[in-house]
Amino acid sequence: MKYKVAILGATGMVGQKFIQMLEGHPWFQVSALIASERRVGKIYSDEVDWIVSKDIPKNVTEMEMLPMDPKRIDADIVFSALPSDVARDIEARFASEGFVVASNASAFRMEDDVPLVIPEVNPDHLGLIDVQRKKRGWDGFIVTNPNCTTIVLVITLKPLLDIGLKEVNMASMQALSGAGYPGVPSLAITDNIIPFIRGEEDKVETEPLKLLGYFDGKRIRFADISVSASCHRVPVIDGHTEAVFAKFSGKVEVDEIADAFRSLKPVDGLPTSPENVIVVRDEPDRPQPRLDRNEGNGMSVVVGRIRKDGEDRVKYIAMGHNTVRGAAGASILNAELMVKEKLI
């Protein structure tokens, strides 16, 4: 048996990545593509500027796009690739009608009763689902994944908590695909770096505190660390790179940090999980987006250049595929976790 899945916002870049990653999935089968009102009733292949790979998967080519009406959709799970400004109303409508919504949008991420989840980091936060249903009176529920930059950062921070992580500073070099399609005008980004991405730094400074916090049975108690971020757009197609500076409560060594990274384990039995959640590179000039973004089919985070920065500080480079691990793949992995936990 395969679970039926629908995709909200199926024509955009993240929606396309959902379709690409779900092709041939052992647990999930795309049953509905949900689009804006002007595209309802039209054939998917006639309406989409397909940009994520060479060919549109045959399983969706001739699908008729459906309206954002829960009563018209036959699915067990709804993956949301909607822009955040419209996601809040639409995702809530689907959840209230009994759908499981796995959202990539930011609309509900920081709500007290909505799980913000990375399966290898905080699977226990799914306990918020019961809180959410009782509070909102919904038959279904919403589970979110973090911002693409946050995911890369937090996956590397999780194993550092046990060795006394206290303070994080991060500067990002973010790929063009993170801006969606058509994204950044070519004359703005060619031969250039744009040192501002609206709303990004706030997300990166707040979401980790929830993700790395603990669930007390009623709410998430935020992690007692500080995060400061500066975010920048660079002329790279895919793959966010981050320079991370971490301070600890006591003395730390490079080998200790590298061993901690390698210790983070995948969740057993999830089809989209990579074999290695964090891959540590020893080469002095790695990671690089062009060389490393597809590690673990795009689901691994790659780190390198781990260096001391004082007795209680280290610095390192982290890189991850922003539309795979940082977006569609993150939502799919969350849905797989929910199936494993018998929440679907």
The answer to whether residue 231 is catalytic is: no
Strands 240-248 and 3-8: unpaired
Closest CA to 31 of 1, 69, 71, 2: 2
Here the tokens at position 122 are 């905080």
121 vs 202: CA distance, rounded Å: 21
> Averaged over 244-259, what is the pLDDT?
98
Q: What is the pLDDT of residue 54?
A: 83
234 vs 240: CA distance, rounded Å: 9
- Count the neighbouring beta carbons within 10 Å of the beta carbon of residue 192: 12
66-120: per-residue pLDDT in tens? 999 999 999 999 999 999 989 999 999 999 999 999 999 999 999 999 999 999 9
Give the domains, in start order, of the chain with CATH numbers: 3-147+327-340 (3.40.50.720), 148-321 (3.30.360.10)
> Averaged over 201-210, what is the pLDDT?
98
Give me the catalytic one of 125, 148, 231, 321: 148
Q: For the chain, what is the mean pLDDT?
A: 96
Residue matched to tokens 């949008």: 105
Residue type, 221: R
Give me the catalytic one of 25, 125, 231, 240: 240
The answer to whether residue 125 is catalytic is: no
78 vs 72: CA distance, rounded Å: 13
136-183: per-residue pLDDT in tens? 999 999 999 999 999 999 999 999 999 999 999 999 999 999 998 888
pTM of the predicted structure, to 2 decimals: 0.96
H helix or E strand, kind and range, residue 132: helix 128-136
Query: How many Cα atoms sit within 13 Å of 174 on the Cβ side?
Result: 32
Burial tier of 182 (Cβ tally within 10 Å: 0-12, 13-18, 19+): exposed
